[in-house]
Amino acid sequence: MDKRFTKYLAEFIGTFILVFFGCGSAAITGGIGGVLGILGIAFSFGLAIVAAAYAIGHISGCHVNPAVSLAMLIDGQLSFIDFIGYVVAQVLGSCAAASVLFYVIKSSAGLDIFETGLGTNGFNQLSHTYISLDGAFVVEMLLTFVFVLTIFGVTSNEKTSAHAGLIIGLTLTFVHIIGIPLTGTSVNPARSLGPALVFGGEALSQVWLFILAPLVGATIAALVWHFCFKPEDKKVVKTSKKK
């Protein structure tokens, strides 16, 4: 199998895992006031990333997030062609996961899709705290900045890179704890787009914010990392070719 396609397939599968288990934990267990609550849902997203990281991290780097892929593109760690391929695979993986989750909920007599939802994000009336549009944008931008900066830091250090999947998963859990009651926590355009497209309604009309804000946060994180924090030896690009 073509190595490039293999990476895209890995991103598809990894994003599927994240959305199905992360959003599924929120939708099926009753959301914030349900069985799992904020901590349980937050850990579901974090553990989904851990599982995906150790399953496909060695193949594609386990971005499973267009914001992360954009940050890697800006930092020079990902080609533009692969960036496009990764994003397409991530969005398709999210849509597939949301579709399967929708089917599972509709197939369950004890669940109502209009009550459970699909773990979509939102602001104003779709937010547990009724956060404003401006507030939601700031929250998503800030949480994504912290998340992406952590990814850069942990993957650049040989001492921590071996445990990167666990650390990144715990960081995703950390940002979800504060973000869930505010916006539902996106920090990932693909994670938001899939459920919004499948569920539709007001969530779909608001999804633009959960695409734009994470991309802005990731861009800022990439620039801060590249120009302020990145070790000098990591900035050297080897161009010599073996003859």
Structural domains in the chain, sorted by start: 3-109+119-231 (1.20.1080.10)
Q: How many CB atoms lie within 10 A of CB 204?
A: 15
**What is the pLDDT at residue 235?**
65
Q: What secondary structure letter does DSSP report for 112?
A: -
CA distance 22 to 15: 10
Nearest to 2 by CA among 85, 78, 87, 92: 85
How far apart, in whole angstroms, are the C-alpha atoms of residue 156 and residue 13? 25
Q: Residue 110 corresponds to which amino acid? A: G
Distance in angstroms (rounded) separating the CA atoms of residues 116 and 107: 13
Beta carbons of 34 and 119 less than 8 angstroms apart: no
pLDDT score at 243: 34
| pTM tops 0.85, yes or no | yes
Q: Average pLDDT for consecutive 10-residue bins of the chain (243 residues)?
A: 92 98 95 93 98 96 98 97 98 98 96 94 97 98 98 91 94 98 98 98 98 98 96 58 37
